[in-house]
Each structure stands twice: as structure tokens, then as C-alpha cells.
Structure 1
């Protein structure tokens, strides 16, 4: 699915996901405190790749995926990669899904020091009978294994995305890297929002309908890395600029609301489709808001000796927004000079300790269509993060890390007003916490990825004294997870997998009267790799939410039901 701004990344174009902690993400172009998620997309392989995968995502959602890659020439200068996916059928709760994705990559090693690529992704996605949003007066358990929406509710997306990158290493002292992307997304969403009544029935207070709307995303960066030494101190200095632009177009008056009589959840599935009338107007698309985010940065990764190193940097960030049309005319532009600094010390080769501080200018959030003040853009704020931590390489393949941190950021929440709530920004969320993470191979056969976080969270500097000291909405104080793979030594090629994921209780409302219960989810699976007709063959089976736990992902969204997925991959 696409995000609220129309941006989307398909699973088949991702090679791996990198988690960048706060200061390590700084040299990638500013960003947010707490770090960033970097999707590394697929590139052509040096060796020929021909892989077919057939599988099922759960329910009757069968899919086929082809991944083909290699080089056009004997010298390996020109490469290609193509990923094609078709998915169709119903989810585990009977939501019809249809998806077609095509991802094509071409790259060119122009010289030994100059590399360029171009990538294109087309995604056509449709999902019917999407689950409603729930606004609760009494937090109850709802059976997540059932579908409650009529089929005419839907989420339809068509996206075209092109992106290109260039890297030039003229010498061992200099690297120039740049990239640019453009994404055009058309979306249409019909979704029901429900208000719970005292008798535990629900009134559909909003049936959001969006005629096809358009989202355009542009972005790019250019960075110069230089490596040099001053006396015995080594430097990697980065200078750069990055920018993103988002433009939102819509027809007519955008989403509309409809009210209805009180219904049970079982009756909701038979709710007739409203007469949308003029909401499907033929008016031309018009821009209703534009977001811009720019960064100019300088950063230096400094190595004093084998034990001491540091990273210092400054980012001059500018965020701007302009609204118009039915959202009303308004605009803002704010700039801030935000620092990042980290000091590292290695008492022994296997241990790294660090202390860091960073700030980030975060753009104002855009209120979504499920709220009465939809389209409101909150003012930008500077968020802060303090952290001290330790990383211990227990072995070459096993890493233990721990950290104490404090994060200060804007506090945002639903006011739960009836019949339709508004989204509010007021005060600061303060997260004081500790985390512990262990990843890697414990033995030759056992691999684990696990961790836990404990936080003391609260609201400060609120305009409403009643909110002071309350916990932010949708933020759990305790979280933990462990995922493990065990390769059975007596059955070559067979690995058993499993995971346990815990999320502590949290609150749905700013006054902390609506408590969302904690939950623990269990996944199990198996993977078997062998060779058939001298070709690699891999069979996977996974059961998600093994116990069928009913839970709330957040204040208005149900959790994922028990889902059985499987796939078979083979080379050809």
C-alpha cells in the first residue's frame, strides 16, 4: 500500500532493509531523531540469476514472482535485472486482492571508477472490503479473523516510479554520489469509520470517498565525500545537499462524509454503497498542498587512533508547506541549523562505547482524511535525541548492543470528539529508555535476532495542564521480540524458524482513560533447501499469529489474524 503522501516501496524491489541509528543516518541527508529505515533496492547481479517463486500470502492470495538478472556483455559492464509479480485472490479474512508489479533495473560500469544505474517500478494494486477504522468508547476485543466491511470499500493504487543514481570515485580521496527519483501515484480510497455506541453497536459516521487523486513525489541528493589526514588524525568529510518535494492533487471537494444508523459488526457487511453523487465529479485535478524539505549538510567522521573516533556535523534544514483549495489558503516555511555529534571509544578491540546527541527539524504532519480537520498541516518542530551505548562483538558473527536514550518530539493525538474526532498537536513527547539487542549466530546451527526496550514516557510542556505527565497515545513502554532459525543437523537443508513478539499496553486517548491491552504474538515456520535436477529448490512455510490472538495495532486499527503462507522457489 502507499503512504498518505502516495509514496510506496514494493517488496519485490527491495534487496535488504538497513536500520540507521540517529547519528549514523545523519550522513544520508538529515532526517529524524531515533534513526531511519533505508530500503536498499535490487541491483543487477554479477552471476546470471533465474529464479521463479510460486506461493500464497494467506487465504487464497496466490502469487507468482520471477527474478531475472545478469550481464549483457562479457566484460560485465552492462547489467540488467527484472522482477515481475502477479498476486490475486482473497486474504485470510476474505478481502479480494489484485496486484501487478514490474521492476526493471539497468546499470552501467562506465569505467572502473564511474557507475550509473536507472530503475523503474510499476505497481497496480487493488484491495476490496478493507477493514474499517474504529473509534471506541469502551475498548473491547474484536475477532480479527472476520471481515466486517462490504465489498465496495476499497483501496486502489496505480504507481509509476523512476529513480537513478551515479557514483564516481576519481581517486581514493574523493567520492561523488548522487541520485534522483520521481513517483507518480494515483489513489482511490473508500473506507468506513465507525463510532462505538454504549450498546456496543457502531454508527458509520464517515464513509470516506476519494475520487482518483494524484500524488507526485520528487527527490534527489548530491554528496561529496573526501578522505584526508591532518597529522595523525584521519577524516572523512561529507558535503552535500538533498531535497524532496511532494505535490497533492485532487478533484472537487475531496472526501465526503455519510452518516448511518447504528449497526452490529455482522450487519456492517451488508451496508449498501451510498449514492456518492457529485463527489465523483469531473473537475480537473488541482493542487491542494505542496510540501518541500531541503537539507544542506557538512559532516566529518574523525578517527584519532585505534581507540578514539568521533562524528560531528551540521545540517541546515528547511521545511515548507503551502495549502490551497478546499483545505484553505495557508503556508509556512521554517529553517533550522541542527547539530549531530557522537564520540566513540574502544577499550578493547571487541567493544565500542559511544555517546551521542542530535537534533532534527521534522516537518509538520498532515492530518489524514479520517479526521474532521483533514488537511491541517502542523507547524514543524526541532526534535532531540541523547544516547549513550555499548556494542560488543562476542564473536565475528554475534553482536550484543545496549543503549540508554532520551528522545523529545512533538506530541500528537486524536481528541476523540464525536461524531468525528480531530487530530491535535500539543506539547512534547519525552521517551527515556533502555534497549538491549542481540543478533547473529549463537552456534553454527542457531541464528537469533532479539531485543527489548523499556521506556519511561510522558507528555511535557502541554498547553493543557491535565495532559502533563500523561503517556503519549499509541506508545508502548515495553516491547520485546526474538526471532530464531535452527538448522537441523540431522536433516541437511531443513531449518525451523520462529518468533515471539511482545508489545506492552498503551493508551488510545490523551487523558489515558482508554487503555489498549498488551499482546504477545507467535510465529512459526520452516525452510527446506535442496537440489532437483541440479537446480536449487527452496520451500518455505510460515504461520503468522499462530494462536490467532485478537489485538489492536493502534487506537483504531485491528491486528493481523492467523495467516498461513507458503512458497516454492526454484532456479531455471
Structure 2
């Protein structure tokens, strides 16, 4: 009742704010200073957009940096006559007169003396300070700098990923984000934790989630950057968990004829090659393309483990005219590994008491093969400089043919060494269809500016899985402390029937519409965001029946600019997702809802070369599902879930990244996270820690590049990840809550000379035994521990050529 009362009051307060601000806007319309701005694009001498070029007003400190498409905006310009100056290192400044009229936006187009090829070379030379991203991608649907957004958003650029030699989402991406961590999981799917929740996975603003075990995580060869959005973010991307979302932005055509080829090798017989081609397919520059190709093979640090992988990612973009563009993108990823689940260790004694290279798999296993394909289509229509319509759709197809392992348990009474291994088929088919249409626009009423966003969002997923065939793998004499491999016969499976017939089917979908208005006051210094989203969720499975729920979720935000580089913000928003399933009494679960209250401070330093965000928040999650260990079903073999009442997660986060001094780029972040069960029907569970969080996470990464001398282009990198107060996954009884503290250090050296680059990185320099894990119960009722190790000290080296 208290929650209903608070939400009703919130709606009344929000309505009151609308009335007050509307009244206030009319009151100041005649007295406020008129808003004017200059917008435009900078192009090269051959007509291509000129990215990352400085545009400023002569005899003024007002200016802007062009984005990747050469666009810029200088806001809050008083009416008058100005001279614009465009500066590019190594080329003469370009000057252009512009007249700024009262209450109007002046449009200009400027042309540099440099060609596209010359701009490409300038961009390559200047890549040492690209740790900072000031603008979100178009897929986040925001039309403003990040410093003005009333929410914590951190961008991980492709330069950061390259310096850290990250090849997929599992390999240290989280070190660049405050409070983010990776839970123990299979190596082909991402299970990232943000603010006490599994992060929602998106690609180019589209929800790619099909099931907890699909799709395949993206290879970094196709990735331009990764955006981490804290909080529900329902109006930024789509439906999702309250903790946060990561949005993978794939590489798109730029219009420059250029390319990169990279060869890499590393420990555990790792060999990798990637190719990135970018350019024009037509002489008039209207048909553009991007093509990324990658192939990789490597063994694991565990016995008999290996991964073979390749990806193909072509993109075509057609510029119909100045107002219309169509982009079509296809991604194919293939992965081959021996068996799912072979990366876990198991023991009755406790965590970490087996060697790092321990495994339960055998060398003669049939491979598990995964084919992951997607087609994405985007259409953009620009009505005017202030109004734009975007329509996009995605079709994602995931196919897995293979098997998985999980132990039956320690079957010999009183023996903690002899493990019975089990194996079963795991074939799966996942299909995800999503479509989104949204409109961005700006207009004014009196002295108040309105930045509006509205749209529809639809998604529907089918997942078919066959776990029905399997049995014991060998006998119960597999000694985990003295393992003997070989002589175990492989199981055979009947795949004569289509997976849609023999598999268990899960359906999940939603449709929603939303509208958001950001009202700007006092020359846009004060920005008030009012928004609402209405969502209908549907989930169907043979085990769980049909769940259908609808809900209106509000959003209220305030952001105030102390100056053009500094802002304070606050936001309140709500999440709403389906809770599919039935409890042990076959009753459906209520939807999962979450409230997020957040306050923060943002500042850009050194003309945008360095950014900082500090935020405090409190999240309340209702109707949380947890494992029901009190009601096992020994006949059917089910492990039921139960609604664990309410969780409260609160914390502090700080993110700093960019160029501190010329040549020194840093990524430094810290997060304090406190998550507990705040309410539950079972009183003894109140006060339990939320599984999977780490109370303290602190990450640092430093890269210094020499700017002069004969060794210009030589760089050195060093970084560490530290986690303390780690709460194990799947813990709900105040026992075995904490895992050991985590500390990993990495260091590397690189060199750029002309068009060549070389990068050498040593991961886990201290050769620490690192893992994540959780307790569980085996098939014989024994309490066991399972964990997933990380590799020991290992090396990677890459040689690249840019042309």
C-alpha cells in the first residue's frame, strides 16, 4: 500500500511540475534572453564528413568538436554577426561569416582544404586521445552531449578496447565501467552484473536477448564502441532490468577509403586475424560499405579445452539524398568448443582447491557448434535540422548443436573425491524479432525549449531447447584430485526430429509506446525531463503457462549546467519486466519491478579531453526470483524458484577517463555497492546479501605515449582490477556469502610508426589464482562448490597495418 501511495503521489507531483513549469515559461517568455544557435557540418575537399575537427567563434571561447559524421552545434549564441573558424592541425584555418538571428538556428556548411585521405591520416595520428567519447550513439536516441544527460552513461571506445587487447565481451570490458563485474558463466554468453542485476544486452539500440543462454557474445572485431547505461533506461533503448544495460555499437561506413589488417598470437596456441575495410562503392559517394572479417583458433588453459571462432560482418549504407538514408547490416558468428559447462571445477571442500587447469571433459568429445546470425535494417529520415525519424528492425537467429556437462555429484557416501560426471544433449534454436520506430525533435514555446522523443518498441523471441537425452558419463570413480582421462565412451543422440518438435519452447515478447519531453529553461541551463512508457509483456512456456502483464512506468529527471562543461542531475525512473515461471505450488509469479533514484555530477575537463561522472543511487526491486532450495522435485528433477520479496541496492560510483596530460590516457573508476534483501515472507532471509555483487570495485588503466623524440609513438600501459567483499552467486541463507578478494594486474607496451602498429600485453602479471563461483547442491543432496577459473599469466601480441 505504501508503494501504491508513493507512486500515486509521484504522478500528482509530476503533473504539478508540468503545470508549474508551463505557467513559469509563459511568465518569463517576454523577459528571458532569446536562445539562438549555430549548427552545421564540416566536410573535406572531396565532400566527405570531417570528424573530430574544432569549430569556434572568433574572439570567443565558444566552440564545438565535430562528431564522427562531421556535425557540430554551438548553443546559446547571442544574436549578431560572427566569424567561424575551423582548425585542423597541419592545415590552414577556414573562416566563414555567419549571421545569428534572434530566436533562430543558423545553418552552415564548411569545407576544409584537406581531402578525405588526408583527414584519415590526421585521424590516425591523433588517435592517442580517443579514450573520451562526448556524444552518445544515435541508437540511444539522445540528441544532446553526455554531460547534459540526467543519467550515468559511460562509453568504452574502440581505442580502449584495442589498447587492452580485448577480443570479446568476456575479456575485461567491465574494468572500464564503475561497479560492473562478470559472473561465472559459460564462455560464449555474456553475464555482466551492474548494480545488483544482470545487465541487459543490446546491439545498436535493439534488445538481442533471446534466453539466458543466447545469443553469442559479440566479437570485438565488429565493434566500434560499447555504451553502459546505468539504471532502467527504458526510454533510451528498450525494456530491461533495473540495474543497467550495455549497448554494443557496431562499425558503420564512414565514407573514407581505408582499411586495417591485424594479426595476433598469444599463449595457449592462440592465433587470430582480422580485417576491416571501409569506403565508397559508387563514384558519387552515395553507396558506402564496411566489411569486417575475423578468424581465431586457440586452446584453453584447461585440459582438452579449445575454441575455434570466426565472424563476418558486412554493412551497406545508401544515402538516398540529403534527408534519407538506408543501412543494412549482416552479422555471422560461428563458434566451436568441446562441450558447454567444461569450464567449471567442483568440490565438496570449498572453492579453489583444484588446479587452474582442472576440467571434467575428455579429449575425444564431439564439438559443440554455434551459428549466430543477424540482419539489421535502419532507415533515417531528416525532416529538418531539428526533426528526425528513425525506423529499425532486427532479425536474430541462433542455432546450437552440441552437449553440456554437469556433475551428478559425489555419490559415494563419506567420500569427497569421487565425482559422477553427467552429460546430456544441448541443441537449441533461438529466434528474436525486434522493431522500433522513434521520432526526435525540438521546438519552443516562449522561452522554453522542448526536446522530445516518442516511439514504439516491439520484440518477440522464441527459444527451443533439447536437454532430454543424456545420462552418466563414465562411472563414479573420477577422482577430482587425481583425475585419469580416457576410455570413456561418448553418448549418441537422436536428432532425427526437428528441434521445434523435440525441444522445449519458450516464448517471450513485449510491445510498448513511450513519449519524453525535456524542457529547457534559462537558456537551456536547467533541463527537466518528463516521460512515460506503457509496456505489455507476454511469456509462454509448457512449464510456466502464459503470463501477460501491462504497466505504465514514469520517468522524471532534472539536469542543471553550472557552465557548458559541468552539470548536476537527478533522476527517478522505473523498470518493468516479466517474471516467467511457476513456483512449487504451480502459481505464476508477479512481474519484476524496480525503482531507481539517482543523483550525480558530471564534468568535462581540458576542452573535452577528460570526463568525469560521480553518482549516488538507490534501487528497490520487487518480486525478485531466487532458487527455492526448500521444495525440490526429485521426481521431475526441477529446481523451483520463489519470489524473494524485495531487494534494496544502494551505492556510489565514480568514473574518470580521458587524456590527463598530453600523451597520458587514463581510465579510473570506483564503486561501492550495498545490496540486501529488505523484505521477504521468510523473515530469516531479510538482511541477506544480494548474490553476485562486489561491495568495492576499483579499476585503473594507464597508457602513456611518447609525443616527441626518435621514439615518438612508443607507448606503455599498466592497469589493475580490484574487487573486495565479493558475494557468491546463488546464496540466500547467510552462509558462504563471500569470495576472496580479487586483484589482477596487466601491463603492456606498444609502438606506432607510420602505418604500422605493434602491441604486446601480459595479462595477470602476478599469476594470481582468480575465479568466480557459487555454492550448490548435487543430485545426492550434498552441498558442493563450483567455480570458474581465469587463465594464469599469459601473453598476447598483435601486429597491425593501416592503409
Common topology (TM > 0.5)? yes
Q: Which residue of 2 aligns with 1:434?
A: 652
- Within the candidate set 354, 376, 400, 1:187 is matched to 400
- CA change 1:314–1:422 in 2 (3 A) is same
Q: Does structure 1 retain, via aligned residues, the 8 Å contact 2:233–2:245? A: no
Cα separation, 1, equivalents of 2:561 and 2:647: 33
- Within the candidate set 753, 772, 776, 1:530 is matched to 753
Cα separation, 2, equivalents of 1:5 and 1:140: 25
* CA displacement 1:417-462 (0-9 Å, x = unmatched): 8998836342222111111221111111211111111122211222
Q: Which residue of 2 aligns with 1:485?
A: 703
Q: Which has the larger radius of gyration?
A: 2
Alignment gaps of 5+ in structure 2: 1-187, 191-211, 775-785
Q: Which residue of 2 aligns with 1:333?
A: 548
Q: Which residue of 2 aligns with 1:507?
A: 728
- CA change 1:455–1:551 in 2 (3 A) is same
Q: Which residue of 2 aligns with 1:292?
A: 509
Q: CA deviation at 1:200?
A: 4.4
Cα separation, 1, equivalents of 2:295 and 2:288: 24
TM-score by length of 2: 0.65
For residues 319-468 of structure 1, the aligned pairs below 5 Å read 319-324=537-542, 328=543, 330-364=545-579, 379-396=590-607, 397-409=609-621, 411-414=624-627, 422=639, 424-425=641-642, 426-468=644-686
Deviates more, 1:75-84 or 1:105-114: 75-84
Q: Does structure 2 retain, via aligned residues, the 8 Å contact 1:144–1:551? A: no
Q: When you count strand as a share of all residues, which structure comes out higher?
A: 1
Q: CA deviation at 1:47?
A: 1.3
Q: Does structure 2 retain, via aligned residues, the 8 Å contact 1:497–1:526? A: yes
Q: What is the SS of the residue equivalent to 1:384?
A: strand
Q: Does structure 1 retain, via aligned residues, the 8 Å contact 2:352–2:787? A: no
Cα separation, 1, equivalents of 2:488 and 2:243: 43
- Within the candidate set 33, 40, 44, 2:242 is matched to 33
- CA change 1:423–1:314 in 2 (3 A) is same
Q: When you count helix as a share of all residues, which structure comes out higher?
A: 2
Cα separation, 1, equivalents of 2:416 and 2:769: 17
Confirm or deny that 1:121 pairs with 2:331.
Answer: yes
Q: How many residues align?
A: 557
Q: Which residue of 1 aligns with 2:494?
A: 280
Cα separation, 2, equivalents of 1:53 and 1:362: 41
Deviates more, 1:473-482 or 1:502-511: 502-511
Q: CA deviation at 1:400?
A: 2.3
Q: Does structure 2 retain, via aligned residues, the 8 Å contact 1:96–1:128? A: yes
Q: CA deviation at 1:60?
A: 0.8
Q: Does structure 1 retain, via aligned residues, the 8 Å contact 2:545–2:581? A: no
* CA displacement 1:245-298 (0-9 Å, x = unmatched): 1111245x6354537515333655626555535x43422222611110222111
Confirm or deny that 1:209 pairs with 2:428.
Answer: no
- CA change 1:331–1:183 in 2 (3 A) is same
For residues 219-298 of structure 1, the aligned pairs below 5 Å read 219-250=434-465, 254=468, 256-258=470-472, 260-261=475-476, 263-265=478-480, 268=483, 270=485, 273=488, 276-277=491-492, 279-286=493-500, 288-298=505-515
Q: What is the SS of the residue equivalent to 1:280?
A: coil
Cα separation, 2, equivalents of 1:153 and 1:341: 53
Q: What is the SS of the residue equivalent to 2:684?
A: helix
Q: Which residue of 1 aligns with 2:518?
A: 301
- CA change 1:268–1:390 in 2 (3 A) is same
Alignment gaps of 5+ in structure 1: none
Confirm or deny that 1:7 pairs with 2:218.
Answer: no
- CA change 1:247–1:524 in 2 (3 A) is same
Q: Which residue of 1 aligns with 2:769?
A: 550
- CA change 1:213–1:29 in 2 (3 A) is closer
Q: What is the SS of the residue equivalent to 1:27?
A: coil
Deviates more, 1:132-141 or 1:550-559: 132-141
Q: CA deviation at 1:179?
A: 0.8
